[in-house]
Structure 1
């Protein structure tokens, strides 16, 4: 998978996340914006990896699958997610993504970052 090359530690300062790259067990996040109105990042998910089964208390996410192929769980619905398709996830909705191929997701959300509730996680990070 093509990777972005800019390096940063993605630190949060004064309640805002600095632009940068954050390695994750499933791939990595490339943060490009975090303001008082929205947060923007690119998720690069390696084939075969699964993100947490999770929900947010306040945060609303909108995601576009740029490339790859994923299995998406939204509440009780499971569907195959293909490039060009957009998923909107209002607060309180349980969701999970599984990469069937190396995948790139563009995510824009409301700016809340600390309201994640992990219900299940393959990497030992569940609440």
Structure 2
């Protein structure tokens, strides 16, 4: 058994709250300010599932775009291009395989490059 605090990481679009970080998986609460967008990106190894806790988001992906509302879930496989835009203040739970630096940015509103 392990008890620990959370790690809060500020981002230009909001923040990530790391609630679990193990060698097999990572769990986050992602908070995105209304109107902000995350990078248009993909992952080479990381598989992630997102659950919308509150708010609405537009998910731009390889096949088009879809609006997700509170209670909706999406799973992204390695290689799936995606971008999140917060249509309202947004809170997401993300659970993924542990590949924290596996992000290939295609475009970024904040001028960030891939790690």
TM-score for the superposition, normalised by structure 1:
0.83
Shift of 1:73: 1.1
Q: List alignment gaps of at least 5 residues for structure 1.
A: 1-17
Aligned mate of 2:99, from 104, 109, 112: 112
Higher relative contact order (CA 8 A, sep 6+): 2
Q: Distance in 2 between matches of 1:109 and 1:123?
A: 24
CA-to-aligned-CA distance 1:85-108 (integer Å, 9 cap, x gap): 100000000000000100000000
Per the TM alignment, residue 76 of structure 1 is displaced from its structure 2 partner at its CA by: 2.5
Question: What RMSD, in angstroms, separates the aligned Cα atoms of the two structures?
Answer: 1.1
Give aligned pairs, total: 110
1:57 aligns with 44
Measured in 1, the distance between the counterparts of 2:7 and 2:113 equals 24
Among 73, 84, 87, the residue aligned to 1:86: 73
Deviation at 1:113, TM superposition (A): 1.1
- 2:58 corresponds in structure 1 to 71
Which runs of at least 4 in structure 1 moved beyond 3 Å after TM superposition?
Answer: none
Measure, in 1, the Cα distance between the counterparts of 2:25 and 2:35: 30
Distance 1:19 1:55 in 2: 26
Residues 5-32 of structure 1, C-alpha deviation per residue, up to 9 Å, x if partnerless?
A: xxxxxxxxxxxxx831000000000001
Aligned to 1:47: 34
**Distance in 2 between the 1:85 and 1:119 partners?**
25
Partner Cα distance (1:68, 1:86) in 2: 13
